[in-house]
């Protein structure tokens, strides 16, 4: 099964072609500082150098601003967490009863969940397999379209529970069962 690539933004100068970008920035800074304020009529060549320097700086600042904006949007909508929504490794198995479901209005396509999988917020009553006391938790998860008709309040579904943080739960829709 293919996994999504890690969507962690790289530092600007370490990104692919980072040395070329660093050299372009240095060249743009030198061009701007050497050319000064030149009009096209007085010195056409200096004006062109200044114009290219301004365009290069504009592109770099725009690129950085867009990357920061995308990172902020991912954080505010929880997309970064959703993309990392894999089964919790070394987790404790358990069962949950779906108590509430709310549509978040977000969809995602990936090899793990399929095309246009909707994201729901679930209110779950978790029962650990080791016989621990049941507790309630809210989880957001993308639901593969195959399982949507079966995801209704009252259904049992398999979960993996993070032993270090019991509120961190991942839903295993392949283990969806009957009503309680």
Under a CB-based contact definition with an 8 Å cutoff, are residues 141 and 172 in contact? no
The predicted structure's pLDDT at residue 54? 78
Strand pairing partners for 67? none
Tell me yes or no: is domain 90-175 CATH 2.40.50: yes
The predicted structure's pLDDT at residue 75? 63
What SS3 state is found at 38? coil
Strands 92-110 and 114-128 come out as antiparallel
The predicted structure's pLDDT at residue 86? 54
Pick the more confident residue, 156 or 30.
156
Pick the more confident residue, 172 or 62.
172
At 179, the pLDDT band (50, 70, 90 cuts) reads low
Under a CB-based contact definition with an 8 Å cutoff, are residues 157 and 175 in contact? yes
User: E strand or H helix at 94, and its extent?
Assistant: strand 92-110
Domain ranges (residues) in the chain: 12-77, 90-175
CA distances from 92 to 34, 123, 125 (A): 64, 19, 15
pTM above 0.85, yes or no: no
């Amino acid at each position: 099964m293919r996994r999504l690539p890690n969507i962690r933004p790289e530092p600007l100068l370490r990104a692919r072609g980072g040395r070329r970008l660093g050299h372009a920035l240095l060249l743009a800074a030198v061009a701007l500082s050497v050319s000064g304020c030149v009009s096209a009529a007085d010195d056409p060549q200096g004006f062109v150098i200044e114009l290219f320097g301004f365009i290069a700086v504009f592109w770099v600042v725009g690129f950085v601003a867009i990357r920061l904006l995308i990172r902020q949007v991912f954080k505010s909508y929880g997309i970064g967490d959703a993309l990392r929504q894999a089964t919790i490794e070394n987790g404790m198995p358990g069962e949950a009863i779906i108590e509430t479901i709310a549509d978040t209005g977000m969809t995602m396509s990936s090899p793990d969940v399929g095309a246009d999988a909707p994201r729901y917020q679930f209110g779950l009553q978790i029962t650990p397999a080791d016989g621990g006391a049941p507790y309630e938790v809210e989880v957001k998860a993308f639901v593969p379209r195959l399982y949507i008709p079966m995801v209704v309040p009252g259904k049992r579904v398999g979960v993996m529970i993070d032993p270090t943080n019991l509120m961190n739960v991942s839903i295993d829709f392949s283990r969806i069962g009957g009503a309680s």
